[in-house]
Structure 1
Amino acid sequence: MGPEVQSFVVDGPLPDRNAGEEEIERRVKQLEAIPSPVTTEEAHALAGCFGPDDCYGVAWSLVHLIETTSGPLPSVSRPGPDTNEWQQTLWSRWGT
């Protein structure tokens, strides 16, 4: 796994809309630093980095980066009733 992906994953899920502008911009820059296409391993790790909302569209950028994988898309388990919309999105796009 590349160092850019490792750094992004270590910082955890994307913040929600209530995060400060500096925090959101920092995560955007981290995301933009990740070279594409990503590996299947990287895509799987990145799939765990969604926060509770779309983070002003940053979550969609994460979805699109994951979709650049040069291998198969990560397997996503069927989400439970209490999962957030991003786990639902991943399931509907890749889990079937």
Structure 2
Amino acid sequence: MRPEVQAFVADGPLPDRDASEEKIDRRDQQLRQIVGPIIGEGAQAFVSCFGPDDCYGVAWSLLHLIETCPNPVPAGLPAPGNEWHQRLYDRANLHG
């Protein structure tokens, strides 16, 4: 896994909308430094980085980056109650 992907994943899930502007901007900048396509293991690791909401659009950027992976992600059923996992699963199955 590339170092910039490891660093992003190591910082955990995206913050929610109530986080400080600095924290949201830092995560957005981290994500912007990662260029697709993302390969298997990195894409799977990114799935764990969705937070509770769209994080002012950063979650959409994460979803689009995951979708650069040549294989559909996630491979299994989406995590219950996580709208981002469900959205990713639905989009992979729609286009897969």
* TM-score (structure 1 length as normaliser): 0.88
CA RMSD in angstroms, aligned pairs only: 1.5
What fraction of aligned residue pairs are identical, expressed as a percent? 56
Spell out structure 1 runs of 4+ moving beyond 6 A.
none
C-alpha distance in structure 2 between counterparts of 1:76 and 1:22, whole Å: 34
* Unaligned residue ranges in structure 1 (runs of 5+): none
**Which structure carries more helix by proportion?**
2
Give the structure 2 partner of residue 6 of structure 1. 6
* TM-score (structure 2 length as normaliser): 0.88
Letter in 2 for 1:73: P
Give the structure 2 partner of residue 55 of structure 1. 55
Give the structure 2 partner of residue 65 of structure 1. 65
Deviations 1:8-31 (A, max 9, x none): 000000000000000000000100
* Unaligned residue ranges in structure 2 (runs of 5+): none
Q: 1:1-96, aligned counterparts within 5 Å?
A: 1-69=1-69, 71-74=70-73, 75-80=75-80, 83-94=81-92
Count of matched residue positions in the alignment of Structure 1 and Structure 2: 93
User: Cα gap change, 1:59/1:76 in structure 2, threshold over 3 Å: closer, same or farther?
Assistant: farther
